[in-house]
Amino acid sequence: MQVTLMKGKIHRASVTEADLHHEGSIWIDRALLDAVGIIVNERVDIYNVETGARFATCVVEAPQGSGTISLNGAAARLAVPGDKVMIVAYACFDETEAKSFAPRIVRVDRENRSLAG
């Protein structure tokens, strides 16, 4: 049997941009992608803390150190700059793997920089 667990989460990131007319996706600062273990083109779920909106899209890399969290295309209708969001990636594991797996959680400051240093 396979189970789906949270693989990684960017906790309470601030949306920096929302562009309805840009190709759909979420652009995320490369430093955050590396810290949480999310890869380019991976599907992520996004939870808007301000509105309760929940949606999924794919990841595009933004420049490292930019602090970018940019929602594009249809996703831009579900958040505005300044909204706090959770960005979560999931993965499937067999039961043995699942029992010992620990997700990577990155908490960020107001500029979307990791609080872990």
The answer to whether the CB of 68 falls within 8 A of the CB of 32 is: no
Q: Is residue 112 part of a domain?
A: no
The answer to whether the CB of 25 falls within 8 A of the CB of 72 is: yes
Task: Find where tokens 């930019």 sit.
Answer: 66
Q: What's the number of domains the chain is made of?
A: 1
Q: Residue 65 is part of which domain span?
A: 2-93
Q: Is residue 52 part of a domain?
A: yes
Q: Residues 6 or more apart from 54 whose CB is under 8 A from it?
A: 45, 46, 47, 48
Residue 25: name the closest of 38, 12, 36 by CA. 38
Quick: pLDDT tens for 15-33. 999 999 988 899 999 999 9
Q: Is residue 108 part of a domain?
A: no
**Side-chain half-sphere CA neighbours of 21 within 13 A:** 0
Instruction: Specify the pTM.
Output: 0.95
State the amino acid at position 4 in one-letter form.
T
Residue 53's CATH number? 2.40.40.20
pLDDT band at 117 (very low <50, low <70, confident <90, very high): low
Q: Is residue 105 part of a domain?
A: no
Task: Find where tokens 């979420």 sit.
Answer: 26
20 φψ region: left (φ > 0), alpha (ψ -120 to 50), beta (else): alpha
Quick: pLDDT tens for 56-90. 999 999 999 999 999 999 999 999 999 999 999 99
